[in-house]
Amino acid sequence: MARTSFREQMLRTREDAIVSSVNRLLAEKGFEAMTVDEVAAEVGIAKASLYKHFTSKEELAAAAMIRVLDRALAVVETLATDATLMPVERLRAVVRWAMEVQLAGEMPSLPAQNSTLRTALMGNRPYLDRLLDLSERLGTWITAAQADGSLDAALPPEVVLYTLYARACDPVVGVLKAAGQHPDEQIIDWVLRSCFQGLSAR
């Protein structure tokens, strides 16, 4: 295996720092409010140097979204190897992970329907490939959970999938955390309960 040169290692380290900064700023401010100047300043490089790695604000955001999808796929892969878990338990674990990432300030805000970021993402093959892979894996667990009676079989699987995706950017999580009255674990448990069991009295 060819060894990575020192220059390549430095470039990769800088790119990792840039994407980490973008990820945090997207989680904190969202795409529209984030600026390239802020990213460069946070990383400690000139804006011109940043553009050597990423050519646009949209490309920066896409890199952050891809990183989160890679992390999600790694979580799904680990859960898939645990034969003791039922499909619905795997789904709950993925949603729990997503909310933990959000509470840690590491979940980029999803793009609005009419945003330039959404348009850019729809043309980004690495992003789309990962999103499709994740959706297919979760979709398999959703249909299995519906078949075994753990999830409502009357709901179209895509409705369940999009509902679970929505928990990754659920504003309820941030609002409850900002109030400072409840620990993170309690917030996650409540939102998981409302998501998987609904609001009706049992």
pLDDT tens per residue across span 85-97: 999 999 999 999 9
pLDDT for the residue numbered 1 = 52
pLDDT exceeds cutoff 80 at 73: yes
Residue 40, token pair as written in the block: 């460069």
pLDDT for the residue numbered 28 = 85
Q: Decide if 123 is inside a domain.
A: yes
pLDDT for the residue numbered 33 = 87
Q: Quote the CA–CA distance of 87 and 82 in Å, as a whole number.
A: 10
pLDDT tens per residue across span 145-194: 999 999 999 999 999 999 999 988 888 998 999 999 999 999 999 999 99
Q: Decide if 88 is inside a domain.
A: yes
Q: What is this structure's pTM?
A: 0.87
For residue 26, give the nearest of 135, 157, 115 by alpha carbon.
115
- Binned at pLDDT 50, 70 and 90, residue 111 comes out as low
Q: Decide if 1 is inside a domain.
A: no
DSSP 46-70: -HHHHHHH-SSHHHHHHHHHHHHHH
- Which domain CATH number covers 25? 1.10.357.10
Q: Decide if 202 is inside a domain.
A: no
Burial of 48 (0-12, 13-18, 19+ CB in 10 A): exposed
Least confident of 87-101, 106-120, 128-142, 186-200: 106-120
